[in-house]
Chains A and B, each alone.
Chain A
């Protein structure tokens, strides 16, 4: 565990480029830890990529754009591992909507239901 885990990114071009500039990118012969989702990227490709990334044990966090997360919600619902953590982040074109985030739903339910 001396090297730490990677942060994977699935997102649109701006998101991925930004995080690559921040230095999360890792590309080896086996593949890379990011996926740029474009207009013409197939849904199955995103799903596949998510499955692959979530099964790698050198990845600690998966950042995913919310609008892409919505597209593969069915896969995310079945996903119940703690690590890698799936984190939904806003994208440039789609402002963040807490309503759609599973975690935020839980949080709101708890905070709203339990009262602060």
Chain B
């Protein structure tokens, strides 16, 4: 699949604002809605969820949770996501090409997730309304298409129909096509068998890989500042995926020698700092020690790996989150590019994770753990040192 070129130029420093000044300023205005150090401090001091709610009413989340008398972490998460989606949709409606496509690209990630959820739910005969309710609201696509996914028959013909609907009607269709084509070339089986035999999580990882590659090529075609900043974000994302996939495959069938060079290798994105030399090395890795040796060759990941290998307080996921927040915050340091939109969505996601974490800790009385989150735009972040403005 070739990534289509953007339909218009994003513009440089002097012309960017002509088309995208408004949405960019919007998203930067929204940046002020992030919870600050003070808010986090107050939240972590709460004793009950009611206190949390009270504290949140004074933040940007006030309206979102105003309708709930009592909150649970799940309710809070749902409300926060709804809020993010509303904001994102607003941005989307205010944007023109090529920003519009860029924003769509951000939603594809969630769309892939939703398609997989629907497919899996369909295989186990779940109720479609229930499934749609569980979908991530950012990855919604045409409802009629969503409804038609689980209605296919469990037969060769049904699978062909499904293939048609998923392929043709959704923006993530091309990724599916690529995945199915590659799988059938590889294993010589048809679409039905692929969908039946391959674990859903692996299909998802493959689709995400195509998505990252596609997205990366798209931002490169946009060029300029966007290509630099967004390109870096996606490269890092691709590397993170590759490392995580390798690390998490240990102890699963994916780590068997035969699978390593075929199935696992196919999950590594073909972009990023690790590609191609690093990913080639990763195919051979079979345990943590070997993985550490490979990552030692890449200074930026060696540091992260050493945090994991030392078995300290932080898990590798935490370290990656920290690194992500750091690089996403950097995107806000520069103007006249699209990276901020992606960074905004991702940082908000981190914030929602933080909120859920804090409320869960309060609910479960785990006060010792409550500070183990990664605050966004915090003055206490390690990469800011103790410098204050």
Kindly state the separation between the CA atoms of A13 and B364 in the bound complex, as whole angstroms.
Answer: 15
Interface size of B by Cβ–Cβ distance < 8 Å?
7
Q: Smallest distance from the beta carbon of A1 to chain B beta carbons, Å?
A: 29
Chain B residues with Cβ below 8 Å from A92 are 360, 363-364
Interface status of B124 (Cβ within 8 A of chain A): yes
Q: Smallest distance from the beta carbon of B212 to chain A beta carbons, Å?
A: 28
Q: Is the CB of B124 within 8 A of A93?
A: no
Interface status of B44 (Cβ within 8 A of chain A): no
Kindly state the separation between the CA atoms of A94 and B175 in the bound complex, as whole angstroms.
Answer: 43
Chain A residues with Cβ below 8 Å from B363 are 92-93
Complex: chain A residue closest to B49, CB-CB: A93
Interface status of A27 (Cβ within 8 A of chain B): yes
Instruction: Determine chain B's interface SS by DSSP, over half rule.
Output: loop
Q: How many inter-chain contacts with C-beta < 8 Å in the A-B complex?
A: 8
Contact with A along B362-389 (1 / 0, CB 8 A): 0111000000000000000000000000
Most chain A CB atoms below 10 A, which of B74, B360, B364, B365: B74
Chain A residues with Cβ below 8 Å from B170 are none
Q: Smallest distance from the beta carbon of A68 to chain B beta carbons, Å?
A: 15
Contact with A along B343-364 (1 / 0, CB 8 A): 0000000000000000010011
Kindly state the separation between the CA atoms of A112 and B360 in the bound complex, as whole angstroms.
Answer: 35
Q: Is the CB of B124 within 8 A of A27?
A: yes
Chain B residues with Cβ below 8 Å from A95 are 365
Interface status of B335 (Cβ within 8 A of chain A): no
Kindly state the separation between the CA atoms of A95 and B72 in the bound complex, as whole angstroms.
Answer: 14
Chain A residues with Cβ below 8 Å from B360 are 92
Chain B residues with Cβ below 8 Å from A93 are 72, 363
Contact with B along A1-40 (1 / 0, CB 8 A): 0000000000001000000000000010000000000000
Contact with B along A86-112 (1 / 0, CB 8 A): 000000110100000000000000000
Most chain B CB atoms below 10 A, which of A27, A93, A95: A93
Chain A residues with Cβ below 8 Å from B124 are 27
Kindly state the separation between the CA atoms of A95 and B362 in the bound complex, as whole angstroms.
Answer: 12
Q: Smallest distance from the beta carbon of B4 to chain A beta carbons, Å?
A: 40
8 A-B pairs within 8 Å (CB atoms) are namely: A13-B74, A27-B124, A92-B360, A92-B363, A92-B364, A93-B72, A93-B363, A95-B365
Taking Cβ atoms with an 8 Å cutoff, the residues of A that contact B are 13, 27, 92-93, 95
For the complex of A and B, the 8 pairs showing the least CB-CB separation, nearest first, are A93-B363, A92-B364, A93-B72, A92-B363, A27-B124, A95-B365, A13-B74, A92-B360
Q: For the A-B complex with A92-B364, A93-B72 known, give 6 more contacts whose Cβ atoms are closer than 8 Å.
A: A13-B74, A27-B124, A92-B360, A92-B363, A93-B363, A95-B365
